[in-house]
Amino acid sequence: MQHVSIKDIARAAKVSHPTVSRALSNSPLVKGETAKRIRQIAASLGYRPSAIARSLATKRTKTIGVVVTSIADPFIADVISGVEEAANDHGYSVFLANSNANPDREVRVVHSFHERRVDGILVTASRVGALYVPLLSQLKVPIVLINNQHPDETDEFIYSVTIDNIKASTEVMGHLIGLGHKRIAYIGDRGGFQSDTERLAGYRQALAVAEYPFLPELVVHGDGKPGGGEQAMESLLALANPPTAVFCYNDMSALGALRALHSHGIKIPEELSLVGFDDLAIASYTFPLLTTVSQPKQQMGRMAMEIMIKLLSRIDSKTNIKVEGELIVRESTAPPKF
């Protein structure tokens, strides 16, 4: 006998198994004395209820499917750590699935979540294809998106947690403009992600407020990774009149930009100011330390999971939460040279 069941306990306690079931779930229907005895026997036998059988009976698995494009992405990993923590706190377990932005894998994940009868699905959407969420929503299960990249999700099952990109972006620009910079460049992402679009919007908005002209040649595109950031920075440095400050879509891009600057022997922040976005752990260990926007990554994960749990408990909850980023000024920004 591999596992002890409530029937085993029932036999030992000379009661029926429904009584055991009730006693262990603290039902008021069972006499206090009996319940206590049953619980003691259960403990002494090392009883652990079968979540499987319980799920079958109750039709709730207390299980959440979590899709990420890649858990190796440090931003996502931080978010997931918050997700898992909140889930654990409420007795939920998470199924982790990498999609790798691969359509085949995506449909397999959907099938897997479907068959396992997850109660809900969490998606860190930073690179998830546009067609994916509709696919997931076929499961008729609540979905919470974190930093989703498609603004038009109007499905009734869909909730979200996102950072206020425009606000954070204008704050970054305010910082640079306040230092005296006038030629400020933006290194964006490729592919028109929601977050890129919004950060660019904040960039333009801040320029407009300061009554600085918007110069298209100062907006270049990377790929959200160091390689793209490096190339983008190279193209900025090749301009006849290069910028004195550069605002990068994310820290990864900034890392690449930093590399390009180092290889040109350009001193930061004396000759050029650089700002990232995300406040990855690395940003505290670059040289110089990177000024960036901190997203409450873990907390966002936690919030997303808490929205989910409220939904599953039929508690009304906000459908869309916007959190604020925080500008972290470190060593990579300073007033322009002249």
According to DSSP H, which parts of the chain are helical? 6-13, 17-24, 32-44, 51-58, 74-89, 103-115, 132-137, 165-179, 194-210, 226-237, 251-263, 297-312
Please report, as a single letter, which amino acid is at residue 327. L
Binding mask 130-149 for its own copies (x = CB under 8 A): ----------x---------
What is the C-alpha separation between 76 and 87, in angstroms, rounded? 16
What is the C-alpha separation between 323 and 301, in angstroms, rounded? 11
Which stretch, 109-117, 145-153, 164-172, 189-197, contacts its own copies (CB under 8 A)?
109-117
From the list its own copies, DNA, none, pick the one residue 72 interacts with, judged by a Cβ distance below 5 to 8 Å according to partner type: its own copies
Using rule CB under 8 A, residue 314 touches its own copies = no
- Site for DNA, rule CB under 7 A: 2-3, 5-7, 14-19, 21-22, 24-25, 28-32, 34-35, 47, 49-50, 52-54, 56-59
Using rule CB under 8 A, residue 98 touches its own copies = yes
Of the pair 168, 283, the CB lying nearest its own copies is at 283
> Shortest distance, CB of residue 257 to DNA, whole angstroms?
53
> Shortest distance, CB of residue 119 to DNA, whole angstroms?
15
> Shortest distance, CB of residue 3 to its own copies, whole angstroms?
8
What is the C-alpha separation between 172 and 278, in angstroms, rounded? 12
Of the pair 17, 330, the CB lying nearest DNA is at 17
Using rule CB under 8 A, residue 104 touches its own copies = no
Q: Which DSSP state fits 58?
A: H
Task: Scan for tokens 């407009």, then name that residue.
Answer: 208
What is the C-alpha separation between 214 and 54, in angstroms, rounded? 61
Using rule CB under 8 A, residue 7 touches its own copies = no
**Strand, helix or coil at 270?**
coil
Of the pair 23, 293, the CB lying nearest DNA is at 23
From the list its own copies, DNA, none, pick the one residue 151 interacts with, judged by a Cβ distance below 5 to 8 Å according to partner type: none
Using rule CB under 8 A, residue 55 touches its own copies = yes
When binding is defined by CB under 8 A, the residue of 77, 266, 312, 323 that contacts its own copies is 77
The β-bridge relationship of strands 63-68 and 120-124 is parallel
Q: Which DSSP state fits 278?
A: B
